[in-house]
Chains A and B, each alone.
Chain A
Amino acid sequence: MRLKLVPQTTNWDFFSRPKLWLGISALLIVVALLSFGTRGLNYGIDFAGGTTIRTESAQPVDVGAYRAAIAPLDLGDVTITEVFDPTFGPDRNVAMVAIQVQDGQESVSGETIVAVQEALRGVAPDITFPSVESVGPTVSGELIVTAIIAVMLAIGAVLIYIWLRFEWQFAVGAVVALVHDVVLTLGIFSEFGIRFDLAIIAALLTIVGYSLNDTVVVFDRVRENLRRYKSRPLRDVLNLSINETLSRTFMTSFTTLLALIALFVLGGDVIRGFVFAMIWGVIVGTYSSIFVASATLLVLGVKRDWSKPEDDAGGPSGTQFSTGGS
């Protein structure tokens, strides 16, 4: 007897409540954008500039005492957070000290860092500094621009590739799904105030890649079925294709999640944010390739070999939810 995540043959109707699904997606996107607009992202030093110092000591972290020790240095906004990780023993107490960019300093001042380290040694004599990172405002500004360009390029490249390999409707469907995934990921990062740094951009692009992977597999089957069942309505063909690939979709998402969860729990605190973004992306990407990409395809309709006017292919309910999708 084989383990099955979904039954061997499914015949679920994914477009019976299209308004509900697209409504949920639209609502989530609005929430994400609102959160993004009001709270913004909790930028790490890669994007905001400044200095972070990681401290480690056998004594428990006393955030108040750390703060008091650093206060006389007059460094403006200093954030101190304790870092927890299941792999730390009781004698490993880690904190992150984040110092904002100092006014009028382009380059990073070694003296400031040394002064902070001295001050902290006063609190916990055995303290060590496993990592110290500083980024000046020029570089951080450029990193933001590069990151935005990278995400745009990735989406653009995908649009072109899918357009070449399929039809433009497929490309639009895939990109709508990608934008959906990226926006929701940004939303969850701003909502929970998770530190957003350069690695998260890598995660975002991976999400783009992953979500696409999923979408393309479904689309590939749609293309095949469109050729095979020339007279069935698009809606049925989409449903059939999704059902046929459902087992694979779940298998792959599940194995990827298994691996990522292992990394999330055991991989240490340094990349936890990064892994979190990917876990979220896999879930959202799987959802979006079915409910966003395919639904968009249904709304747009596909020109089929035999059809003359476009509306033939649109399916009976195709126009009803044309407002949703992104």
Chain B
Amino acid sequence: MLNISLGRRVMIWLVVAAGLLLAMPNLFYDRVERSNDAEALLEQGIGGPEVEAEAALWPSFLPDGLVNLGLDLRGGAHLLAEVQVEDVYESRMTSFWPEVRDALAAERETVGFVTREDSAPDVLRVRISNAEAMPRALEIVRDLARPVVTLTGAGASDIVVAAEGPELVIQLSEAEREATDDRTVQQALEIIRRRIDEVGTREPAIQRQGADRILIQVPGVGSAQELKDIIGTTAQLTFRPVIQPFADADTVAGSDEELLPFPSQGEGAFALVERAPVVTGEELVDAQPGFDQNNRPAVTFRFNPSGARKFGDYTAANVGAPFAIVLDDEVISAPRINEAIRGGSGIITGDFTVEESTELAVLLRAGALPAELTFLEERTIGPELGQDSIDAGTIACIVAFAAVMVFMVLSYGIFGVFADIALMINVALLFGLLSLIGGTLTLPGIAGIVLTIGMAVDANVLVFERIREELKTAKGPARAISLGYEKALSAIVDANITTFMTAVILFAMGSGPVRGFAITLGIGILTSVFTALFVTRVMIATWFDARRPKTIEV
């Protein structure tokens, strides 16, 4: 009755062996982690005897996957940022204005004078002096529209134009807004990733969440504030023509002009600059901290070819005039153009400290955030608290383990021993699978493991109790064992599928630590069903074949 074919036995033990092998690196967590880090360095071409020695800490023929530790165990910072996607609508409208102006001005005889009116930031209001020509003006502006570049919004145009009296009201269409939002968030995500990579911490997790949110988790950072300092600045660099280098707060700015603070010239200093930039930071290819000729900290930069050409043309045409280097709506410096600057490299000087110039160079290299971020959630967990949690969790696991094991032996004798071995294999398999899929272990995840320890015996208990019942009807031990497994199967499957469903829902709906719990719970269910249905069964069958007992006591 207990015949399990040799092939199946081999398969079952192979799976167990694979699980144990995959779980093993976690026993040497620190050593394997250092080795993995060193191997990553070697892959990047950074070598040296020390790195080689570190890499050799763990033999390369062994699996080296580890269970990731969640922030609540490792310590670090967690931020949930919302990208202010509306920011981009404004800049789109601002850059669209010259185009509209030029197109309308080309038919000045029909539409008359064209002026930009004040409006909400995401709307462009244009007044034409000849209101009767509105139909023609609408036509002209609508001709400027471009199709939206998405798969879903095919056929839609990027702007919506309406007439209100003598004014044209231009704004982005719904489809274009969606497309823009998506691009903006993608771009922000990319830039955040580059900035964090520049600082070089281990395994940062940067994920998009929902339409306009980004989740950032960086282990090993001292505080969420530090992380915000790294990623929070927009670092929008522009080079703009200067209209009036020394202005004050009362200076009136025209519609194409902007009054920006100029802090290096003292408190309350302003400069009047043009709204539309000559070149932007997006055309930078490199930025490095350095020093100017007076040995003050500065940032040197280089443009890409198109930026270099624009910059060269502009400086050639405006020798003697000042131009402004503007960073995030603040004028950093406004040097005079002494000669045409060809070749596309330059230097930004200002009131920098060495740290500031280094940070600015990092920000410029990584690129500007397309929109501002607001932070909806931030969490900092100190590494000591994480370590405390690991220690407490480990002790709790061991005690739970021991208690359950003793109890099982007391209740089921030799069968309890089988269940205990299966339990150990179960936890090892759980860790093995977690390492394999790169799952994250969190504090609630540890609770999930402890719960699994408690519940894992359930499938075995179901079988053992059933065997006991079948023994009562005296069909002989082999038959009873076989029937026990057969009849307990549907209860085991139903009970575990329902629990597994709740784990899946938790995984889908939850985030962070809760998700970690769902993962351990879900994997725990899989491994415990496997160990109960196959591993203990093979053990019992092997034992039974060897002993051939006339009676058994479960």
Contacts of A139 in B (CB 8 A): 80, 376-377
Judge if A278 is at the interface, Cβ distance under 8 Å: yes
> B-facing mask of A251-282, CB < 8 A → 1, else 0?
11011111110110111101100110010000
Cβ of A260 and Cβ of B506 under 8 Å apart?
A: no
Complex: A202 Cα to B458 Cα, angstroms: 21
Cβ of A2 and Cβ of B553 under 8 Å apart?
A: yes
Complex: A129 Cα to B382 Cα, angstroms: 7
Judge if A208 is at the interface, Cβ distance under 8 Å: yes
Complex: A256 Cα to B447 Cα, angstroms: 12
Cβ of A217 and Cβ of B462 under 8 Å apart?
A: yes
A residues 104-137 in Cβ contact with B at 8 Å: 106-108, 110, 113-114, 128-136
Contacts of B389 in A (CB 8 A): 268, 270-271
Judge if B454 is at the interface, Cβ distance under 8 Å: yes
Our pick among B223, B397, B446, B461 for the contact of A248 (Cβ within 8 Å) is B461
Contacts of B458 in A (CB 8 A): 213, 248, 252, 255-256
Complex: A128 Cα to B468 Cα, angstroms: 57
Complex: A214 Cα to B454 Cα, angstroms: 14
Judge if B379 is at the interface, Cβ distance under 8 Å: yes
Cβ of A251 and Cβ of B501 under 8 Å apart?
A: no
Judge if A18 is at the interface, Cβ distance under 8 Å: no
Cβ of A217 and Cβ of B518 under 8 Å apart?
A: no
Contacts of A81 in B (CB 8 A): none
Judge if B375 is at the interface, Cβ distance under 8 Å: yes
Cβ of A248 and Cβ of B465 under 8 Å apart?
A: yes
Contacts of B495 in A (CB 8 A): 212-214, 216-217, 220
In angstroms, how far is the closest chain B Cβ from the Cβ of A139? 5
Judge if A87 is at the interface, Cβ distance under 8 Å: yes
Complex: A224 Cα to B404 Cα, angstroms: 30
Cβ of B407 and Cβ of A254 under 8 Å apart?
A: yes
Complex: A138 Cα to B504 Cα, angstroms: 26
Q: If the complex has contacts A208-B502, A216-B491, are A266 and B412 also in contact, measured as CB distance less than 8 A?
A: no
B residues 377-419 in Cβ contact with A at 8 Å: 377-382, 384-385, 388-389, 392-393, 395-397, 399-401, 403-404, 407-408, 410-413
Cβ of A133 and Cβ of B380 under 8 Å apart?
A: yes
Our pick among A158, A210, A212, A245 for the contact of B455 (Cβ within 8 Å) is A210
Our pick among B225, B444, B451, B498 for the contact of A199 (Cβ within 8 Å) is B444
B residues 480-505 in Cβ contact with A at 8 Å: 487, 490-491, 494-499, 501-503, 505
Judge if A229 is at the interface, Cβ distance under 8 Å: no
Complex: A131 Cα to B510 Cα, angstroms: 21
- Chain A interface bracket (under 10, 10 to 19, 20 to 34, 35 or more): 35 or more
Judge if B535 is at the interface, Cβ distance under 8 Å: no
Cβ of A268 and Cβ of B392 under 8 Å apart?
A: yes
Cβ of A263 and Cβ of B502 under 8 Å apart?
A: no
Binds B, one of A20-28, A145-153, A188-196, A298-306: A145-153
A residues 139-187 in Cβ contact with B at 8 Å: 139, 146-147, 149-150, 153-154, 157-158, 161-162, 165
Cβ of B385 and Cβ of A161 under 8 Å apart?
A: no
Interface residues of B, CB < 8 Å — how many? 74
Q: If the complex has contacts A157-B505, A267-B396, are A128 and B377 also in contact, measured as CB distance less than 8 A?
A: no
Judge if A247 is at the interface, Cβ distance under 8 Å: yes
Cβ of B408 and Cβ of A255 under 8 Å apart?
A: yes
Contacts of A78 in B (CB 8 A): none
Contacts of A162 in B (CB 8 A): 498
Cβ of B502 and Cβ of A209 under 8 Å apart?
A: yes
Minimal Cβ-Cβ distance residue in B for A269 = B392
Contacts of A8 in B (CB 8 A): 468
In angstroms, how far is the closest chain B Cβ from the Cβ of A271? 6
Cβ of A212 and Cβ of B498 under 8 Å apart?
A: yes
Q: If the complex has contacts A150-B510, A270-B443, are A252 and B453 also in contact, measured as CB distance less than 8 A?
A: no
Q: If the complex has contacts A134-B379, A153-B509, are A255 and B407 also in contact, measured as CB distance less than 8 A?
A: yes
Cβ of A161 and Cβ of B384 under 8 Å apart?
A: no
Contacts of B461 in A (CB 8 A): 248, 251-252, 255
Cβ of B447 and Cβ of A158 under 8 Å apart?
A: no
Judge if A308 is at the interface, Cβ distance under 8 Å: no
Contacts of B509 in A (CB 8 A): 146-147, 149-150, 153
Q: Which 8 A-B pairs have the closest CB atoms?
A: A256-B454, A259-B454, A268-B392, A130-B385, A259-B400, A209-B499, A209-B502, A262-B400
A residues adjacent to B (C-beta < 8 A): 2-5, 8, 54, 87, 106-108, 110, 113-114, 128-136, 138-139, 146-147, 149-150, 153-154, 157-158, 161-162, 165, 198-199, 201-202, 205-206, 208-210, 212-214, 216-217, 219-221, 224, 244-245, 247-248, 251-252, 254-260, 262-263, 265-268, 270-271, 274-275, 278
